Amino acid sequence: MNFLAHLYLSNNNSELAIGNFIADFIKGSGFEDYSDTIKTGILLHRSIDEYTDNHPIVLKSKKRLQPIYRHYSGVIVDIYYDHFLALDWYKYSSIELRKFVDNHYELLTKQKAILPKRTQHMLPHMIAHDWLFNYQFFDGIQRVMQGMASRTKFNSKMDQSINELKLYHDEFRIEFHEFFPDLIQHVQQTIKILNP
């Protein structure tokens, strides 16, 4: 899953959301200076990623992309799934997407000093281009894919993956909505384990 889903899956807990948001920028056990709840958020993020990567519905989505995008298929599906979460946000939250996104931009900005340096560098771009809200639009996804493609060492072709999103939109959308309730249940169980 990508940024929007990780924030959504943080149980409306600010510190959990921070940990869940920064986890990709922290390697190994390099999070000892953070609060217990932020640490839990980092561990939750890793559990979400592992569960997602191995779920049969996600594997089905990735398989559709693998002939063209190979090992980048998982990254692309993560972004596709954030697109469908944003697009069908009302199915999962009573808080309007605009309000949810703005609240989290404000939270992350206020806590910028404790974020990893790479996250601090990325955050102003995320807010300026309103990534989280714009995931619902094809143009927003296209910009994200172009940015990702520009940062890959090899020609990932990720900037072209908007084509498959449009072509198989209904199929990916169905798969996301089949998968996401399973992930929500997994997160609820994981939070109980991490916070006994």
Domain ranges of the chain: 3-194
pLDDT at 153 over 80: no
pLDDT at 196 over 70: no
User: What's the pLDDT at 81?
Assistant: 97
User: What's the pLDDT at 27?
Assistant: 81
CA dihedral over 70, 75, 81, 82, signed as positive or negative: negative
Structure confidence by residue, pLDDT tens digits, 1-53: 789 999 999 989 999 999 999 998 888 776 778 899 999 999 999 999 999 99
Mean pLDDT of 159-180: 96
Average pLDDT value for the chain = 92
Structure confidence by residue, pLDDT tens digits, 71-129: 899 999 999 999 999 999 999 999 999 999 999 999 999 999 999 998 999 999 999 99
Helices (H), the chain: 3-8, 14-22, 36-54, 56-69, 73-87, 97-110, 117-128, 131-134, 138-151, 162-167, 169-194
Q: How far is 83 from 103, CA to CA, in rounded Å?
A: 19
Indicate the pTM of the whole model: 0.94
